[in-house]
Structure 1
Amino acid sequence: MKNILTGVIALVVGFFALTFAAVMGLTMALIALIAQPFLKRKLAKEFATFNAAQTDEMTPKGRVIEGEYEPVQSR
């Protein structure tokens, strides 16, 4: 009798755990679907900013530092 009662309690607890996991999974999936367009927009904006910074860094500035010229070989 004690084993049967323990088995029934284990089944009930397992059912509640499974139900809770399913509800949480569905909630997270729904949240991810809602947030997807916002995240895509933000990531595209960050990517554009990063690309702009990279292209600015690659182009020569054309500035010359005024001062004396000393060849490296003379040291």
Structure 2
Amino acid sequence: MKNIIAGVIALVIGFFALTFATVVGVFMALVAFIAQPFLKRKLSKQYATFYAGKTNGATSQGRVIEGEYEPVQHNR
């Protein structure tokens, strides 16, 4: 009898835990879906600012590929 009661209690607690995890997961997915356009806009703005600063005021010309420095020379 003790095992049956313990099993029922474990099932009830497990059901509530699973329900809580589902509700929290759906809430987080909804928040991420709503925030997506704002994050895309902000990241594209930072990306454009970063590369605009690189091309306009760059003093050192070079490219880093996998930790190695490779000078870039214009042969034109």
Aligned residues: 60
Q: Equivalent pairs: percent with the same residue?
A: 68
CA distance in 2, matches of 1:10, 1:59: 66
Number of the residue aligned with 2:37: 37
- Aligned-residue CA RMSD in angstroms? 1.5
Are 1:27 and 2:27 counterparts?
Answer: yes
CA distance in 1, matches of 2:51, 2:39: 18
Deviation readout 1:38-75 (Å, 9 max, x if unpaired)? 00000010001001110023369xxxxxxxxxxxxxxx
Structure with greater helix percent = 1
**Structure 1 stretches lacking a partner, 5+ long:** 61-75
CA distance in 2, matches of 1:3, 1:22: 28
Does 1 or 2 have the higher relative contact order (CA < 8 Å, sep 6+)? 2
**Structure 2 stretches lacking a partner, 5+ long:** 61-76
Number of the residue aligned with 2:5: 5
- Output the TM-score relative to the length of structure 2: 0.74
Structure with greater strand percent = 2
Deviation readout 1:24-48 (Å, 9 max, x if unpaired)? 0000000000000000000010001
CA distance in 1, matches of 2:37, 2:17: 32
- Output the TM-score relative to the length of structure 1: 0.75
Deviating beyond 6 angstroms after TM superposition, the runs of 4 or more aligned structure 1 residues are none
